[in-house]
Amino acid sequence: MSSCEFESLEKCLESHLPEAELTEVKHILFGKETKKLDLPSCALEAASERDFELKGYRFEAVQEQLRQPRRIRVGLIQHRIVLPTDAPILDQINAMHTRVGEIVEVAAMCGVNVVCFQETWTMPFAFCTREKEPWTEFAESAEEGNTTRFCQELAKKYNMVVVSPILEREELHGTLWNTAVVISNSGNVLGKSRKTHIPRIGDFNESTYYMEGNTGHTVFQTQFGKIAVNICYGRHHPLNWFMYSMNGAEIIFNPSATVGALSEPMWPIEARNAAIANHCFTCAINRVGTEHFKSEFTSGDGKKAHHDFGHFYGSSYVAAPDGSRTPGLSRTRDGLLVVEMDLNLNRQISDKWSFKMTGRYAEYAEELTKAVRHDFKPNIMKE
Amino acid sequence: MSSCEFESLEKCLESHLPEAELTEVKHILFGKETKKLDLPSCALEAASERDFELKGYRFEAVQEQLRQPRRIRVGLIQHRIVLPTDAPILDQINAMHTRVGEIVEVAAMCGVNVVCFQETWTMPFAFCTREKEPWTEFAESAEEGNTTRFCQELAKKYNMVVVSPILEREELHGTLWNTAVVISNSGNVLGKSRKTHIPRIGDFNESTYYMEGNTGHTVFQTQFGKIAVNICYGRHHPLNWFMYSMNGAEIIFNPSATVGALSEPMWPIEARNAAIANHCFTCAINRVGTEHFKSEFTSGDGKKAHHDFGHFYGSSYVAAPDGSRTPGLSRTRDGLLVVEMDLNLNRQISDKWSFKMTGRYAEYAEELTKAVRHDFKPNIMKE
């Protein structure tokens, strides 16, 4: 079995483990069980016709006396590219709009309030090629680009907040960014969040294409809760998640594009750790499939030149502040994950575990301020 | 099957999954396979006679041109209490010394260079009772207590660094602390590290007994590498791990005492996330067994009074900076986990993934300094 044929951890465990042991294993791996969400049959039928996986789960919270439940539904969309990477650019973008549009329609049937797409969702993940052309042509204005207009239509039509991570072109300064555009359910652009940390790794030093973001740790107040977007490589940086949370984020999306042998064992760890540590929900989204490029390229690893970067393993999931998580979407198929959550759970867990309250952040602010100085003397005891 | 009978996740998967699928599952759950370490037969026999689990694994690194490998072996010891909690205190302490002493002897046979015991290893985890007496009598001087003297003997005898987490009594100020004493392989006390974050949870607000530590994020330069100790609840705080790493820690130990339904799903996540994020090794240690107390107590959860706090689930493990980890020790038995690691791996992974280099810590120092002010205005965008 090759890694890109292995459909999902959850399915494998369910097919082989005896019931009693499966319960223990699931508890250790996933925490408190997330109940399945009843989804309308029209949505299930549409998903089947349109050939994507549709799964639904819900996280519950205790009923409080003074606050009403704040139940909302998020949708995570993972997908492969639609046309070959050497098709005309506008055709590639339009085909992706059509594909994602038909998945969002199903999200609407499922009552989704906030939908988030994968990183640079309108294009192949071409940064591994290190060619500027034609890939920089996929960059668009965050405020006025075709893709933003397309998402504004979706947002208005379905009364849905849309998080649309694109390659952004800032025409005025001649700068590209890796940016999530956040569109309110009114259809207005609420703002944008630029990727904070950029991988500098042999075959994908993405700073070839764009720079570290300058939008800080902005949180967006939507009708359905306060959300933030930590793009891809930012998931490896606990401080990044933390600072979104310090600014009030209740849900942090992590739209990503990541492959293969090295990052997959980290995938179930990082977003989930962030949900636990920050008393919030996190949503990890990864694309699927293998993308072939016309020109061969090397990957800075001593291996021969090749035409693809590897298998994007999907596995999108949502993690809750109580340490539980949903199963992942497939490692191989397009999919929509619909998750209902009562945002009251965040404060309930915070009140119970008190990680924030016991955080001693003032001490850390002082220590970190010292630690970043060039003449910092680390606190090391010797004999 | 009750949760305290389920021996281990790894054994369960190995007994039920077909070979090809087991390989995929292990890759996703544990990352790159950690090879088994050949341990001397005298050690295996002694472990069997003394009725504890003995497991060995190794993490490898690439051979560099300019640096020699820095291969060292750590030992993690998990155990249950030996005598009932109402036995005379000195008898309880002595029995624990004897038990741990015979495990350390086996660690020495296995070539362990640095050994770490579980949190407050000389006593039952009695903080759930909220009784001061007789439990505060277990507190000892970090520098001159019986337990430190016992550990100094072990250190000298076996040429081994000993990390000994105890309940510390600072006689001069009348203060108790939750403290790890670090003893050099010369037998000298190298220093101590006090628990940074204290749980404030219904049935175990441990600040009833001791306060937040005042030793900062000290790192200890030993002959076998730079080590630090993040005690128990500190594992929920990513900033805590991070700051030990910023002070140069190559291995961070996390001696813990934790039970049951709530924390177990977080257990495989937090120490491992810290190893990944900070390009270092982390060692998570938890005690085993269920400890019965004479007086009944409640747990602030609406349930009836009871005589035990729950099942300590062991499962001690070591995580590496490349996202891999060892299998865990048993959930139910005393055990010694021997792990060989080449500390060169830390810098190799740092050079590859560059999480530290791309960390933008100066920006975080500024943002955090603002965020901890009482009049902080979070960065929230509204429509």
Examine residue A16 and state whether it is found in any structural domain, yes or no.
no
Q: Comparing C-alpha atoms, which of A107, A167, A118, A84 is closest to residue A287?
A: A118
Examine residue B14 and state whether it is found in any structural domain, yes or no.
no
Chain A residues touching residue B242 (CB < 8 angstroms): 238-239
Cβ separation A221–B381 shorter than 8 A: yes
Which pLDDT tens digit goes with each residue over A254-292?
999 999 767 999 999 999 999 999 999 999 999 999 999
| The pLDDT of residue B70 | 98
Examine residue A89 and state whether it is found in any structural domain, yes or no.
yes
Q: Comparing C-alpha atoms, which of A108, A113, A38 is closest to residue A70?
A: A113
B66 — contact with chain A (CB < 8 Å)? no
CA–CA min distance B40, chain A (Å) = 31
Distance in angstroms (rounded) separating the CA atoms of residues B273 and A322: 17
Of B3, B218, B380, the CB nearest to A24: B3
Cβ separation A17–B16 shorter than 8 A: yes
Strands (E), B101-145: 114-116
Chain B residues touching residue A358 (CB < 8 angstroms): 197-200, 212, 233, 237
| The pLDDT of residue A69 | 98
| The pLDDT of residue A258 | 95
Examine residue A163 and state whether it is found in any structural domain, yes or no.
yes
Catalytic residue among A10, A53, A119, A250: A119
Cβ separation B197–A361 shorter than 8 A: no
Examine residue B303 and state whether it is found in any structural domain, yes or no.
yes
- Asked whether the predicted pLDDT for residue A26 surpasses 70, the reply is yes
Cβ separation B354–A199 shorter than 8 A: yes
B62 — contact with chain A (CB < 8 Å)? no
| The pLDDT of residue B19 | 92
Examine residue B259 and state whether it is found in any structural domain, yes or no.
yes
Lowest-confidence segment of A199-213, A305-319, B286-300 by average pLDDT: A199-213
Best mutation target, B358, B366, B375, to test chain A (most A CBs within 10 A):
B358
Q: Give the domain CATH number at B293.
A: 3.60.110.10
Confidence of residue A5 (pLDDT cuts 50, 70, 90): confident
Cβ separation B28–A216 shorter than 8 A: no
Distance in angstroms (rounded) separating the CA atoms of residues A39 and B208: 48
Q: Which amino acid, residue B84?
A: P
Q: Please confirm, yes or no, whether A24 is among the known catalytic residues.
A: no
Token pair, residue A131, equals 């060619």
Task: Provide the domain count of chain A.
Answer: 1
A364 — contact with chain B (CB < 8 Å)? yes
At residue A253's C-alpha, the angle toward residues A252 and A259, to 5°, is: 135
A283 — contact with chain B (CB < 8 Å)? no
| The pLDDT of residue A2 | 66
- Asked whether the predicted pLDDT for residue A1 surpasses 60, the reply is no
A69 — contact with chain B (CB < 8 Å)? no
What are the backbone angles phi and psi of residue A186, rounded to the nearest 5°? -75, -15
| The pLDDT of residue A260 | 78
Task: Give the range of the structural domain holding residue B130, as residue numbers without chain letter.
Answer: 34-371
Q: Is B294 exposed, middle or buried (0-12, 13-18, 19+ CB in 10 A)?
A: exposed
B172 — contact with chain A (CB < 8 Å)? no
Residue listed under structure tokens 């089947």: A48
Closest CA in chain B for residue A382: B221
**Cβ contacts from A onto B, under 8 A:** 271
Distance in angstroms (rounded) separating the CA atoms of residues A209 and A201: 13
pLDDT tens sequence for chain B (383 residues):
567 778 889 899 999 999 999 999 999 899 999 999 999 999 999 999 999 999 999 999 999 999 999 999 999 999 999 999 999 999 999 999 999 999 999 999 999 999 999 999 999 999 999 999 999 999 999 999 999 999 999 999 999 999 999 999 999 999 999 999 999 999 999 999 999 999 998 777 999 999 999 999 999 999 999 999 999 999 999 999 999 999 999 999 999 999 976 799 999 999 999 999 999 999 999 999 999 999 999 988 889 999 999 999 999 999 999 999 999 999 999 999 999 999 999 999 999 999 999 999 999 999 999 999 999 999 999 99
Examine residue A15 and state whether it is found in any structural domain, yes or no.
no
Examine residue B383 and state whether it is found in any structural domain, yes or no.
no
> Sign (positive/negative) of CA torsion B138, B142, B145, B148?
positive
